[in-house]
Structure 1
Amino acid sequence: MRLLMLGGTEFAGRAITEDALARGWDVTVFHRGRHEPPEGARSVLGDRTEDGGLQALAHGEWDAVVDTWSAAPSAVRDAARLLSGRCERHVYISSRSVYRFPTPPGLDESAPVVDGSPDDGDVEYAEAKRGGELAAAGAFGDRALLVRAGLIIGPYENIGRLPWWLTRMARGGRVLAPGPRDLGLQFIDVRDLAAWTLDAVGQGLGGPYNLVSPPGHTTMDGLLEACIRVTGADAEPVWSAPEDLLAAGIAPWTELPLWLPPGEAHDTLHRADVTKALSTGLRCRPAEETVADTWAWLQRIGGKAPLRPDRPVVGLSPEREAAFLRSQAAADDRRSPVQWTRRPSVR
């Protein structure tokens, strides 16, 4: 297979490129030169945000193109139109964020989506991804595969969510753990996303697919305990109720990565229906494997994940964590029943 990767040097794009190379595919990576593509890929330089930035792709034919673009949909549109007559299939790595919020639990690909346009410039993330979908479908029709990925973690993660938890557990000590402990998590290992995507290209699939693990793939407790095991740390999770965390102003998802309290946001992000993807071959490795391999990758690169400059830094500061744990300990002391000692009666 001849594969053209638009991107292909970071996180999801890199995982797809590496998987394709491992299959013996002929891979061309179109990128801006900020990071080296995996060894074995053909490198083509260009910046799609500049006038004439796609000139390097004016010639050539491929069996499939994969586009991971997350910004202005017009960039997806321009590339898709340029390649539509010289590429058999188009894969757009989209997001489950295209669904209107809130998304009740159990909804599939037929759920209502946000408005978007392939002609949009800089718009919010959900609208950008929806516009990218429309751009791909507009140029390729039913030859466009829309991969609506959920939460993506694993090696090469450049957002920092799972790396933050691993680094925090490695420091040891008392760790703020957001409850409830049995809160289900739904995510996709980036390598499982890559494997399904390339298999789907081979099958000639088109249209939208929710791509994330089944609900309850692991729990907050399972994830954090896996982080403790793989780091070998002496960390002690201190489980805290969602209402206490919210009352303290601690932000879900950003200050406590991956975590959302029970409710609409959690239902939207962690309770999607993935029957369609499972029926076409999606396989999700155990969460413990994802955690262990991400930690091993972090150790290979010096312990610090490379972060995208266009995304906010995630994670709770040590000062905020310590302050909350102190306040919680004081509150627990106040709630504890007072133990009275009665002197013997002398009568």
Structure 2
Amino acid sequence: MRLLVLGGTAWLGRTVAEEALRRGHEVTCFARGTAPVAEGAELVRGDRDDDDGLAPVAGERWDAVVDVSRQPGQVRRAVRDLSSEHHVFVSTGNVYAAFDTVEQSEDAALRAPLEGEVMADMETYGEAKVACERAVLGGSAPAAVIRSGLIGGPGDWSGRTGYWPWRFAHPVAEEVVVPDDPDFPTALIDVRDLSAWIVTLVEERAPGVFNATGPTTRLEDALATAAAVAGSGARPRPVSRERLAELGIDGWMGPASLPLWIGDPDWRGFATMDTTRARAAGLVTRPLRETLADALAFEEQRPAGEERRAGLSDDDERRVLAATSGRAG
């Protein structure tokens, strides 16, 4: 098959290209060219922000197009200008209107689509992806829309999936700060599993809208898996949501955060989705232990001194441990 990956140089797009090449497909990546493509793929340089930016690949007939963009204008131009037998768009669970329900299905209510061509910042990420979905589903080619959950594993530059095994592998004391919320529902999908399934959808030209993430796992169990992967004897120190907030510790992502967890009850179901439809269409996910082990290996090879994008710094970890020493968090 002739596969066009729009992007193909960053984490997910590159992994999709590598998997398609491994299966013997011909892969072209359309990107600015600021990073290399997978070995064996062809790179066509261009800028999707230009109205005619796709001209270098618009005259071809593709078996499938894979798009991961978050910019509605880019996606609309791809639907308008590209000729393909199948279109796969990677969306996000952020498109849903509410997150107080665990494992909601593809039929749950969505956010209003973003108006305009450009998502200015991450505050409208979900709305932008809804607009992108509408463009793809309204195109002439059969389309698959994948609403992905948190993507993890090797190459996770965000640090969200690598933080916990890394922290247990490098504790600053005999305890590791964790949220006192053992039943919080977590889920993530390995980038390799998502990429493999995307290529399968391409091969089968399967249409539809699909949620894609891993099995729902209690936070306590996910952290125990992270500790086991790290070979750590450090014990968790649970700290309450209220105390963490007092100490300036957030959830999910960013500096001074505790990944995989969200303290706001209205967002309790955010990480989880009902993946029955995707699994019936061939999605297979590996054990969480394997994903966390490979995420840890990636973390260990990061350049010394590189600033972490998620989790607690050593100084933050010591500060919270000191502030909660000798009493319940």
TM-score by length of 1: 0.84
The amino acid that maps onto 1:62 is W
CA-based RMSD:
2.4
Q: How far apart are residue 53 of structure 1 and its match?
A: 2.4
| Aligned mates of 2:52, 2:69 — CA distance in 1 | 18
Larger radius of gyration: 1
The amino acid that maps onto 2:16 is I
| Aligned mates of 2:319, 2:88 — CA distance in 1 | 46
2:59 is the alignment partner of 1:59: yes
| Aligned mates of 1:140, 1:318 — CA distance in 2 | 52
| Aligned mates of 2:104, 2:230 — CA distance in 1 | 36
Q: State the partner residue of 2:19.
A: 19
Q: State the partner residue of 2:148.
A: 149
Q: How far apart are residue 299 of structure 1 and its match?
A: 4.0
| Aligned mates of 2:58, 2:177 — CA distance in 1 | 53
The amino acid that maps onto 1:246 is A
CA contact (8 A) 1:214 1:273 kept: no
Question: Structure 1 residues 314, 165: closer, same or farther in 2, change over 3 A?
Answer: same
| Aligned mates of 1:40, 1:134 — CA distance in 2 | 33
| Aligned mates of 1:212, 1:102 — CA distance in 2 | 15
Q: Secondary structure at the match of 1:177?
A: strand
Return 5+ residue gaps in structure 1 as ranges: 308-312, 336-347
Summarize deviations over 1:38-97 as a string: whole Å, max 9, x none: 111111111112354222213222110000112x201111012111xx211111100011
Q: State the partner residue of 1:3.
A: 3
Aligned pair count?
Answer: 321
Summarize deviations over 1:278-301 as a string: whole Å, max 9, x none: 221211100000011222334456
Q: State the partner residue of 2:157.
A: 158
| Aligned mates of 1:304, 1:41 — CA distance in 2 | 33
Compare 167-176 and 273-282 and name the one that shifted more.
167-176
* Percentage identity across paired residues of the two chains: 36
CA contact (8 A) 1:169 1:235 kept: yes
| Aligned mates of 1:244, 1:221 — CA distance in 2 | 19
The amino acid that maps onto 2:50 is E
Compare 102-111 and 153-162 and name the one that shifted more.
102-111
| Aligned mates of 2:102, 2:40 — CA distance in 1 | 42
TM-score by length of 2: 0.89
Q: State the partner residue of 2:39.
A: 39
| Aligned mates of 1:306, 1:320 — CA distance in 2 | 13
Summarize deviations over 1:183-236 as a string: whole Å, max 9, x none: 3311111111111222122222212111112322xx333333333333445543
CA contact (8 A) 1:77 1:118 kept: no
2:113 is the alignment partner of 1:112: no
Q: How far apart are residue 103 of structure 1 and its match?
A: 4.7
Q: Secondary structure at the match of 2:251?
A: coil
Q: State the partner residue of 1:210.
A: 211
Summarize deviations over 1:102-140 as a string: whole Å, max 9, x none: 352242111111111574322510111111111112223
Q: Secondary structure at the match of 1:140?
A: coil
| Aligned mates of 1:306, 1:322 — CA distance in 2 | 17
